[in-house]
Each structure stands twice: as C-alpha cells, then as structure tokens.
Structure 1
Amino acid sequence: MAHAISSGSPVRLGAQFDGEGVNFALFSAHANRIELCLFNPDGNREAARLTLPERTGDIWHGYVPGLQPGTLYGYRAHGVYAPERGHRFNPHKLLLDPYTRELRGGWRNTDATLGYDRGSSAGDLSFDRRDSGPFVPKSVVSDPALFAPITQPISTPWDETLIYEAHVKGLTQRHPDVAEALRGTYEGLASDAILEHLHKIGVTAVELMPVHAFLNDGFLLEKGLTNYWGYNTIGFFAPEPRYFGPEGILGFRQMVRRFHEAGIEVLLDVVYNHTAEGDHRGPTLCFRGLDNASYYRLISGQPRYYVNDTGTGNTLNVSHPHVLRMVMDSLRFWVECMGVDGFRFDLATTVAREDHGFDAHGGFLGALRQDPVLAGVKLIAEPWDIGPGGYRLGQFPPKFAEWNDAYRDAVRRFWRGDAHSAQDLGARLLGSAGEFDRGGRRAWSSVNFVAAHDGFTLADITRYSRRHNETNGENNQDGHHANYSDNCGVEGPTDDPAIEARRIQRQRNMLATVFLSQGTPMLLAGDEMGRTQAGNNNAYCQDNEVTWLDWAAADTELSAFVAELSALRRAHPALRQSRFLHAALRPKDGLPDVEWSDFDGHPLNWRDPGLSSFCLTLRGSAEVVPELQTDDVVFAVFNRSEEQAQVRCPAAPEGAAWVCAFDSTLGAPQATLADGVVTVSGPSVVVLTLAPEGATA
C-alpha cells in the first residue's frame, strides 16, 4: 500500500494519532535526512520507507494520513559516519523512536545491530552495511486512549512515609497466593496477597526497580545470564514488556490504581544517566544513530569515545536542551499518564552534571524545581556516580530526599562492634544534620536504609563476612568490597542455634535502628522476612531463585517484628520529625529537644572509642512554634553489650510515668521497669514512652 506524507507539525515529539492519521516528529541536530520505516503487523517486513519532508529547527516531522494505532515503525538516519568527530549515522540500522510508548519484538545479540564491522581491523571506525531491522524491536503508534491522564494522585507526607524497594518479578514470582498467570507481572504486584503483606508491615510507598523498557546486555547473554535489575534503559516512555500480564500495558495503570486505592504511592527508580547502547563498541539502536554527538557526552578532543561517569560505557548528555526536554517529557508522562507518585534517580549526580561538572543550580535540577506537573511528586536522588567529584551526599536541592549510604554503613559498623562507630551512629540517628541541615532542608531528606538492591540483604549482612558472587561469571571481582558485614562465627548457613539466634538478634537491632532514626526509612523487599541471596552482593544478573523472594521460607516472626516497629513509628511523632534536633531548649518547657546519656543518666562521653551503649531522649524540635510542638517524648536505649544492663530513666513529668513500648530482644520478656530503672537485655534496643501515671505498657 502506498502512503502519502505531508509536512505535519514539530510541536509534539513522537508518534501522535489524531483520529485520521499519525504525526511523526523527532529531534536530530546533525542528520541530513530522516526516513520513516513502516512495518507489517508482525514486524518481520518493512512495508514502506518515507522521508520526513520537513525540518523545523532540529525537529524533523511528517504526517501520514490513514495510519492507525498499532502501526509498527522505526527510523533510519542519514548523515556523516565519522566516529572520530563524534558522528555515527548509519541508515542501515533501524532506530527506535525515543518517544515511543510501546515496543514490539525483541533485540537479538547479533553483529548486524552494530554500526561498524566488528571483524575489521579499523574497529568502530569501519562501516557496516547489514540491515539491523530484523533483529531490533519496533516502535508502536499508540492508541491515545491507553494513556488518558490519571487524576488520582495521592501524596503521603514525607514524615509518614515508609519506602519499600522492590522488583516486580522478584516480589511476586514465588508467592503461592499470587495467581500463576500474574506472577512476575504488574498485575501480580498489585494482587491482594502482596497488598495485604504491605499493609501489615505499614508500607506507604513502593519504590520499583527499573520498569522503563530495557535490554539484556550482550556480554550477559553470552554467559547465559540476563539483566535482572533493569538498569539498561532503551525507552524512557515505554513500560518494560517482560512484566506484562494478561492486560498488557493497561496492567501497569491498573497496578497503580490498585496501589492508590490501598493508600500506597508508586515510586519509580529511573535511569536517565545512560542508555543500553553502551560504549563505542555497543549496538546502534536509537540515540547513537539519531544524533550521537547530541545525546551523549563525548570526551573533549577525542569524541570517538564516551564520557563514562556511570561505569556503563556511556553518559546521557542531559545538559543538552533537547535531551533535557526528553527527560522532562518522560517524567511528566509517567506522572500524568501512568499515575506514578515520584522518582528515585539512579546516579543522580550524572543527570545533574553540566560541562563543568555537578551543578545543584544547573539545567536539570532547575527544570525539576520549576515544573508544575512535578511539583507535588516525591524526588529521591542517589547522590553519587564514579565521575570526578561524583560523591554529593547532602548537596541536592531542598525538594529532594537522598539515599544515605553513610547511614547504612554507620548502622552496620555499630552493630558489628567497630570502634568509634557509636559517634557516627549518633549523627545518623538525628537525620545526618551535618549533611542535610542547610538551605531549609528537612530531616526527611535522609533516606535511611541498612540494605538495598545493590549489596547484601539484611540477612546476609549477618551471614557472610565476604561476598560470594561467583555465579555472576566475573571471578567474584564485582560488587562492593566494603560491606561492613559479619558472619557471627560461621560463613554462610549454619545449624548452630546460638549463631542463628545471634544473627536474627542483630537483624532485629538494625531494623529497630532504622525505624527509630529521624529521616525517611526504607526497607529492601524481603528483609522483613529474612531473605538471603547466598552472599551475592551484586545480583544484577540473577533472574532466578537467588533474587526471587522465597515466601514459603519467610520468617513470619521477623515480619511481625517489622509491623510492630512500623506501628511504633506511626504512633510517636517524636520519631519522625521534619525539623532537625540540635539540643536546643524548647520555649514551651525549657527542655532540650534531644538529650544523650549513659546508662547511669550522666552526660555521654563521646570521646570514648569503645562506646557501645547509650540512651537517647527525643522531644519535639525546638524550631517548631510552641503551639504546634508535639508533647510526645521517647526514651531509647541502645545496648550493644552482650550483658544485661540496668538503665536510669530521665525524670518523668508530673502526672506521667515511663512505660516500656518496645524491646528488640528475641525470645525474651519485655524489658522490666521498676523505680525509674529499666533492665535491658544485651544486645538490644528498648524504647520507653510517657503515659499517664498508673498506665501499663
């Protein structure tokens, strides 16, 4: 069938169906011709090739009447093939539309997708003329009805937020009460069984590992592995098809709706720092072929090669106006059309880089702060990359929360028994004010966690003293070196009940620390049930039982313990304050908002390198006006010693008395309180709160 094409419009990028035809528009500053390729319904045959007839600035566009939603298409870009000058145009390579909302078909790991001849002595300076069309996914003209705006956002206050980091497949694949057809899918994620579990442990926001369309790395496929985590994006607007269930793309929107009905926000882990095209030896799939010199950061003076601040081979050039526009359009799409409530930015330092380096006032962070669509969503930064000056904890704008790896390490080191660790933990318990208390930022800015997808699980922190990543095929050289873990006497599984009890107790103590800290708590999915990855601290390529949660083996007592901690935090505003605490005197009663003491009630000796036990009294921040100040008071005891201890409580106000509200001790009676002295087990965390005199715990 012959297709006519007219000039169309440059206003909206992507493929836009208007009821009578489709407008196509895309960016390329350096191409000299763009061809639109239309395919038959199964994507196996190129049915037509049309040159986009018009260019407005750097936007190429055309309108094809009669085309319908579901049409498969791609682009071929003509221009200079000169890698030494930063240009890699090759019209033999079919390219995805960067704005496509759906993909059809998969990518095959074949040399035909390379822009150069891998067998040539010239390497990537050579030119390959094989057609990649049969081996790459196709873009899809979407039905606008699939993406009608969603107007059901929810917005849980930061100080009431509990984040649960999860993988769509990993959370659902082995759950016996998730229908088999829904396991590993968006619909399965929002099934009754999963929602019930999240409610029990008090989760208010699910942070999903990448669901933007991504590819499996060629080097992993050659080893029989896969990119399980998904940090290898090829489509910033398209949901990853491998998680589709019976409803396809609608399943994602249904998932969001069900989470919202349950009062749970949906946050996405997004990867705008690099793409799946890799370094100069990688495939030509989209951005590289459309305008390599614009989409990517290239090494100054050597534009054949890519800046690699991400460690993945390339770095997306978000400081370029059109690349920035794509990222912002993508974020708005996921909020307005897919209903998500926020984003965690992978390697956020990279996304916030300008030519001169990280810039907290640069284009990307400035655009985020002024965008009305994104004004009400949660924004979380992973505040580091491997580039120069890449570690930026505490340096993002006030709108952001940040993953706090310093918090993670402090909690692990303290409960492992490291010298000088109590001093660092003290700062972390109060929201890491040294990093975050500036520019009007709030204590919730610190996202506090002891384990995340990248590293040991909570259980493995207590089971392994070294990583065990042999099945990743990299000779156990990948993954973190510094895990601050301790196997409690035996490396790996054990039948020794004493060692097992020691491990579980340490897990409970670390979890308690997270929930008692100022800031925003985050749980790694499965940590509430004792999940292990057999010591693998970099399971990015393990799409198997190493990473899938084993619900049949879940430690239900530990889950109940997390639910208790979550309820404790909700019940006590002193544990989740927005203002930082600096031991300032409160105008309301003249008492300090925070006090540290030893077990005898004396001021704490912070200079003691072996300090292993302390008490913390929390009151409402002195920064809050008196009439808005909470009357809640919490007295927390952290005992790392193996010995039982007696702790002198602060004087209770007239008409009130201390009661034991929480004890982390495994299999023991709750801490006892008599004559102002509480007896605590070791090692443990105990919380006392004030109640009317005569009340019981």
Structure 2
Amino acid sequence: MTALGARVEGGSTVFAVRSPHAETVWLCLFAGERETRHAMERRGEDWVIALEGDLSGRRYGYRAQGEWAPERGRWFDPAKLLVDPYAVEIDRRFVQDPRLAQFGEDTADLVPRALVPRPTPPLPPQAPRFAPGGLVYEVNVRSFTRLHPEVPEPLRGTVAALRHPSILAHLRKLGVTAVELMPVVAWIDERHLPPLGLVNAWGYNPVAMMALDPGLCPGGVAELRETVAALHAEGIGVLLDIVLNHSGESDVHGGVLSLRGLDDAAYAHAPDGTLINDTGCGNTLDFANPAVRRLALDSMRHFVTACGVDGFRFDLAPVLARGPGFSASAPLFDEIAADPRLADRILVAEPWDVGPGGYRLGAFPSHWFEWNDRFRDDVRRFWRGDGGIGTLATRLAGSSDLFGVPAPGQSCRSVNFLAAHDGFTLADTVAYAERHNAANGEGNRDGHADNCSWNNGVEGPSQDPAVLAARRADLRALLGTLFASTGTILLTAGDEFGRSQAGNNNAYCQDNAIGWVDWTHRDRGLEAHVAELARLRRARLERHARFPETVRWLTRGGTDMTVEDWERPGESWLQCRVAEGEDTLFTIDREARMVTIGA
C-alpha cells in the first residue's frame, strides 16, 4: 500500500496522493509565488512522484484534471490548488472566497500550501497519561490564553502558551489530570461568517485532518510535541478534540479545497447522489469507505507517534460508526483496537449527531468514555428545583442506567460535565434563563433554546447582593455535585472562576471579548473553592473511577431511603455512605444550597 503524503526518503522526496477518478494529477511546487508543476504517475488509485533531493520545508499542493460534473460527484478543476489531505503543516490559514467554488477560477493565491515535513524520529511508545475518575480540562487554546497577563504577548493564543509556567501552575492548582484541546488543526470559516464580520473561533470546520493551524500552532509539529512533553512532565495527559465527521468544504455550494477536488466519494451520498448531512455542517465523511477510515487512522497515528498525545475526543462520534446507520461493531472501532499505536489510547465519544437515530449515549464500545449530557441536564434541573433526588443519585453514582455496571476492573465510562464549549458557561447557567446570541448575527435563533438554566430573578448582570449571593451558592453547589460524582469529570477552562459569555450559548464565532477568558476579573474565591474540591477528589481518585458496590442512601433523619422517599416530590436532602465503616461519600442539601464531600 502506498504511503500517502510527502516524505523524505533516502536522497529523494516522495509525494503520493489518492485520486481514483482523476485523468491527470500535478504536484505543484512553490518558490515564493512561482509555481512549478510536475505530472505525477498513476499507481492504481494513487498518484506518485519522487524528486531528487531533500525538499524538507518546501511548499507544495496538487491540481487534478478530470470530469467536472458535480451532480455525479466529479469536481475536477485544474484551476483549483488542492491541499494534501495528508499535510501536517501549512503555510497560512484558510480564508473564505467565492472563487473557491467557481469553476475555472484559479485559487493559488487563496489556498494554503502544505510544507514537506522534516524527518522526525517517532516518539517511543508510552502508556497514556490518563486517570479514570480524574479531571479533564477543556481548553480553547486561543481564548484561554489571549488575555492572560503573565503570558508574553507573542505566545498568547498559541499552543506554546500552554507550557508557560503560569498556565502550568494553574493546572496544578486545579488538580487537572488531562487537558482536552479543542481543535488545533486548520479550519475555514463558514460561508455566512465573513459578511457578518465574524470568524470561526472554535475550529470545528477542518479541511485537512492533520494540518496544524498556523495561527494556533505557528511552530508546527515541533510546537505541539514540545507542549505535550511539558504537560507530561507535570503528570498531565493531553487529549485532542478531533473532527473526523465532516470537512470545511461544506455542501454543494462550498469550495473545492482538498478532498472534493481529489475524490468526492470520501463524502457520504444518498442514493439520489445528494450529500448526506448527518453533521449539520453540509457534508458527512463516509466511514463505510476504507479510504476515509485509513485517513482517520493515519491522522490519529500521526498525533500519537509525532506529538505524543494520549488520546482523542471525537466530535459527533456516531458518524464514525455509520455505514450508513450507526453500529456498535463498526469497522473503525475494530481497526483502532487492532492498531499497535492506537489500541491503548484514551477514546472519548461525543455520542450524538443530527442524523437519524443519532443520539447514541451509552452505545459505544465498553472501553470508550462518553460525554454524558444527561448528567449536565439532570444536575442542573435538580438545583433549579424541578429535578428529582432519585435521578440525581443515579447520575452521582455513575449513570448505570446508561452505561451499565462496570465489569470487574473496569472504570465508569461516563464523562460528567455541567458546561462545555457548546452552550452556556457555568456562570451564565445561573444568570440567564434565555440565550442571548444576537452578536452571532442570526436573530438569536442559533444555539440551544432549552438550557436547563435560571437567572435568580434578574436576567444577566446584577448588582443586587442577594442575587449575587444566590448565584455564588448555586455555582458552588453545582461544582460540588460535579466533583462528588463517580466517573471522569470535565471542566471547561474558566468555569472554575466564573467565566461569562454574556449569555451567548453558541459563541463559536466570537473571537473577541465574548469568547476570551477574562483572567483579570476572575472570581478568586470560587477558584479557591474549586481547588479545594479538586484536593478532596484527588484523595479518593480511585473511588471516583468506580462507584462502591455497597452503599447506604440516607434521609435527613439518618434512616435508609425508602421507595416513598425516592419518589417524594420535592425531596431535597440525601447522604451516601459506604455500607462498611460508615464512610460518608457526599451529602446533598438543596435547601441550604450545599454539597459536602466526605464527612
């Protein structure tokens, strides 16, 4: 099987790209803006060329000649410069332009050029750094460090900023066991954003699956590799949030940037030829296609062997198991399990997409972890006052109704969270009953309408001492519930000190003060409270990975909970003890707005 991408091999540089239906494919080398084209040789479904010399760092792209018949999945246009799907670094960020979708319009001045990677020895295999039951810290690299006063200005907003001593000290303070980096590969803005003066600030719209974004990671593979090593030195694992479910080439009105111009069969199509859109982003990659699965596996393997990451969080993960319907025994799952460099990695599913039957919480393989949005919603409802104590207990005990009871030696698979990048921040959850997304330019129609949130009597900012006190109590109760729960927990950066997005629950396009983490005005009292919760959790880390087999659930009066107690409307007090030794795990008191971990 041909190794795809560009690589220096002996005294030559080899380029290989897959394009089964092209008539001609050219390698395009750039020296400044001067382009030199080299016709490639067909080898089955691939096109290959070897040039003399070490071309490390040289900029390149492809052009492909063939049939232009979009209605039949043929998008060949030699005017389009195409990014190598196997590129690992590019020389500039993607930009939207109508010419990307117009036949015959040359795009060499728009499209990034890939860089021939310098030979880098693969990292030796090491066990992943990840503690089941620990704290995963979700980070948008740019927004997290953009305003940090101690991070030097040139580093702010970059991957390298994560290894600055001030950031590492903050992670240690919180007891973070792994960081989960929101997408760091290069993406393109959605078409509707530039006319609104907005940009994609989250990165969930990639074009090439392993090409690092030069804005976030200007030092390329070396920068990510060194940052991972620095976090590992602190005992902190690194998970990459990767988007393998769709690409930024969007729907039929989108641009021809990479895969579309080489092999449109990478995208899933209905029997009538129309694009399937199980992602809500215009297209869906077809994981029934072995070439798509190979690209996904090669991308993951690259980040493990070249950068040392410990695992992955998969955006809209049911897409990975569609062929076209979801299957828990999908080929990709078996291929990951059989891969010697991927089999032991930490795998975390976002277990839903917008396709038919797309909500698959609890349906992934038994060694996968899964984001548990039921934990988020049920815990919020309890503290809002309209959720039951029995449901809360189920969530605190590891959501066995969703994941079953772990087998002997297995940890709870639930990733419990109260807020994430998508939705209200934790502070906004107790300050806004409604979304406030006018800044997104979509008439406040985007984002979830039902957030299980509340405002304590005042929508948005308030100077009323009683309102502020109620919100502080709510935040501490919510966070206490999270840190008391069984399962791995996830905290989004800034929620530990009251980060707000002014009620915007879909800030994907707010690369500005709405989306940036405000370090100067953070709530240091709440931050200290979270640090203490983290200390208490670390002391019982093994317990949080798996719920005890024998416990007692007690009423306020100290008696065992009965069926009537569990089902009584408004029941608001609960204590959980280990049956042997009367060790108290946690106490919940909704009336007092308190959670006590331990005795």
Normalising by structure 2, we get a TM-score of 0.96
**In structure 1, what is the Cα distance between the partners aligned to 2:452 and 2:161?**
35
Q: In 1, are the aligned partners of 2:133 and 2:545 still within 8 Å (CA)? A: no
Q: In 2, are the aligned partners of 1:516 and 1:575 still within 8 Å (CA)? A: no
**In structure 2, what is the Cα distance between the partners aligned to 1:45 and 1:107?**
20
Residue 603 of structure 1 aligns to which amino acid in structure 2?
Answer: D
**In structure 1, what is the Cα distance between the partners aligned to 2:427 and 2:484?**
20
Kindly, what percent of the aligned residue pairs are identical? 45
Q: Is the aligned partner of 1:339 residue 2:308?
A: yes
- 2:474 pairs with one of 481, 506, 509: 506
What is the Cα deviation at residue 169 of structure 1?
Answer: 1.1
Structure 1 gap ranges (5+): 1-9, 117-127, 585-592, 621-630, 642-681, 690-697
Residue 256 of structure 2 aligns to which amino acid in structure 1?
Answer: T
Residue 54 of structure 1 aligns to which amino acid in structure 2?
Answer: R
In structure 2, the residue matched to 1:467 is: 435
**In structure 1, what is the Cα distance between the partners aligned to 2:413 and 2:211?**
30
Q: In 2, are the aligned partners of 1:381 and 1:400 still within 8 Å (CA)? A: yes
1:364-403: CA deviation from partner (whole Å, max 9, x where unpaired): 1111122121122211000000000000000000121000
What is the Cα deviation at residue 444 of structure 1?
Answer: 2.7
**In structure 2, what is the Cα distance between the partners aligned to 1:365 and 1:574?**
27
What is the Cα deviation at residue 152 of structure 1?
Answer: 7.4
In structure 2, the residue matched to 1:50 is: 38
Residue 425 of structure 1 aligns to which amino acid in structure 2?
Answer: L
In structure 2, the residue matched to 1:599 is: 556
Q: Is the aligned partner of 1:609 residue 2:569?
A: yes
In structure 2, the residue matched to 1:427 is: 394
Q: Is the aligned partner of 1:130 residue 2:134?
A: no
- 1:551 pairs with one of 519, 531, 535: 519
Q: Which protein, 1 or 2, shows the higher relative CO under an 8 Å CA cutoff with sep ≥ 6?
A: 2
1:81-107: CA deviation from partner (whole Å, max 9, x where unpaired): 222222222222111111011111343
What is the Cα deviation at residue 288 of structure 1?
Answer: 0.4
Residue 687 of structure 1 aligns to which amino acid in structure 2?
Answer: I
What is the Cα deviation at residue 594 of structure 1?
Answer: 1.6
**In structure 1, what is the Cα distance between the partners aligned to 2:131 and 2:26?**
48
1:262-313: CA deviation from partner (whole Å, max 9, x where unpaired): 1111110000000010000000000000011x21001212x1x210000000
Q: In 2, are the aligned partners of 1:436 and 1:443 still within 8 Å (CA)? A: no
In structure 2, the residue matched to 1:297 is: 268
**In structure 1, what is the Cα distance between the partners aligned to 2:452 and 2:96?**
38
- Considering only CA atoms, is the larger Rg found in Structure 1 or Structure 2? 1
5 Å matches for 1:624-643? 633-641=583-591
1:545-594: CA deviation from partner (whole Å, max 9, x where unpaired): 1111111111111111111111111112574143x55xx6xxxxxxxx12
Q: In 1, are the aligned partners of 2:484 and 2:597 still within 8 Å (CA)? A: no
What is the Cα deviation at residue 214 of structure 1?
Answer: 1.2
Q: In 1, are the aligned partners of 2:424 and 2:505 still within 8 Å (CA)? A: yes
- 1:282 pairs with one of 232, 254, 264: 254
What is the Cα deviation at residue 462 of structure 1?
Answer: 0.7
Residue 595 of structure 1 aligns to which amino acid in structure 2?
Answer: R
- Helix, strand or coil for the counterpart of 2:381? helix
Q: In 2, are the aligned partners of 1:380 and 1:401 still within 8 Å (CA)? A: yes
What is the Cα deviation at residue 438 of structure 1?
Answer: 6.0
5 Å matches for 1:515-530? 515-530=483-498
What is the Cα deviation at residue 19 of structure 1?
Answer: 4.4
Q: In 2, are the aligned partners of 1:369 and 1:399 still within 8 Å (CA)? A: no
Residue 204 of structure 1 aligns to which amino acid in structure 2?
Answer: T
5 Å matches for 1:228-247? 228-244=201-217, 247=219
**In structure 1, what is the Cα distance between the partners aligned to 2:377 and 2:34?**
54
**In structure 2, what is the Cα distance between the partners aligned to 1:199 and 1:632?**
32
- 2:166 pairs with one of 193, 200, 215: 193
In structure 1, the residue matched to 2:118 is: 143
- 2:235 pairs with one of 248, 260, 263: 263
Residue 85 of structure 1 aligns to which amino acid in structure 2?
Answer: R
**In structure 2, what is the Cα distance between the partners aligned to 1:152 and 1:58?**
32
Q: Is the aligned partner of 1:32 residue 2:23?
A: yes
1:311-360: CA deviation from partner (whole Å, max 9, x where unpaired): 000001122111111110110100010111110000001121113x0011
**In structure 1, what is the Cα distance between the partners aligned to 2:363 and 2:54?**
49
1:128-175: CA deviation from partner (whole Å, max 9, x where unpaired): 212111211111111113xx3223745345335210001111111111
In structure 2, the residue matched to 1:658 is: none
What is the Cα deviation at residue 62 of structure 1?
Answer: 1.6
What is the Cα deviation at residue 50 of structure 1?
Answer: 1.6
Normalising by structure 1, we get a TM-score of 0.83
Cα distance, 1:151–1:465 mapped onto 2, change above 3 Å: same
In structure 1, the residue matched to 2:285 is: 316
Residue 208 of structure 2 aligns to which amino acid in structure 1?
Answer: G
Q: In 2, are the aligned partners of 1:398 and 1:440 still within 8 Å (CA)? A: no
In structure 2, the residue matched to 1:90 is: 77
What is the Cα deviation at residue 443 of structure 1?
Answer: 4.5
In structure 2, the residue matched to 1:391 is: 359
What is the Cα deviation at residue 423 of structure 1?
Answer: 2.1
Q: In 1, are the aligned partners of 2:406 and 2:412 still within 8 Å (CA)? A: no
- 1:363 pairs with one of 331, 345, 357: 331
Structure 2 gap ranges (5+): none
**In structure 2, what is the Cα distance between the partners aligned to 1:417 and 1:377?**
40
What is the Cα deviation at residue 108 of structure 1?
Answer: 3.8
What is the Cα deviation at residue 250 of structure 1?
Answer: 2.1
Cα RMSD between the aligned structures?
1.8
